[in-house]
Amino acid sequence: MKNPIARMRFPNVLNSVSRPTAVLFLAATFAFAWQTQSPPSGTKAVWKSVPFAILKYDDQAPKSWAMYHPEKRGLLLVRLWKRYLLINLNEQEVFDIDPLTVKQQGDNVEWTVPDSPENSVEISEWKQRDVGGVERIRFRFGKDGHFFEMQIPLRPDGKPLY
């Protein structure tokens, strides 16, 4: 006896739809999926304050500082006195940000991440490690410059608190 499913005839769905219609449908589907994955350029993102973070500049706490994070992990925006630094933890890069492009909104700030920041800061001696309840990131500005240290609190599962 033959398999009953093998004897069934299924209509060819592709023959019932014209090719231009199918191509147009697939193109629209891919365009929609691509558009929803990346935010439109030029929109401002709100960066939220990182609670319980600690900053040190040459082993002393600066008098005026703040740390912000976007929804995407791995980026931090740090205000150190009147200077803003964009810190990419994944690439171990630091960029100097124009303070006029950052707008304060209470405890948060509004700023757009450019595709490729231009003002790269020379750093050396990058050290990033987990020291219990915090993640410690320490680097030096230039070859013989000042040390900068951040301590970001961690959750019990080892992920950043923010």
Please state, in angstroms and rounded to a whole number, the distance separating the CA atoms of residues 67 and 152. 10
pLDDT higher for 137 or 19?
Answer: 137
pLDDT value of residue 97: 93
- pTM beyond 0.75: the answer is no
SS3 15: helix
Which among 80, 87, 27, 26 is positioned nearest to 58, based on CA atoms? 80
Residue 8 has pLDDT above 60, yes or no: no
**Reported confidence tier of residue 73, pLDDT bands at 50, 70, 90:** confident
Which pLDDT score is estimated for 31? 45
pLDDT at 21 over 50: yes
**How far is CA 94 from each of CA 54, 62, 75, rounded to the nearest angstrom?**
18, 18, 10
The pLDDT tens digits of the residues spanning 92-108 come to 999 999 999 999 999 99
Task: Give the confidence band of 145 by pLDDT, cuts at 50, 70, 90.
Answer: very high
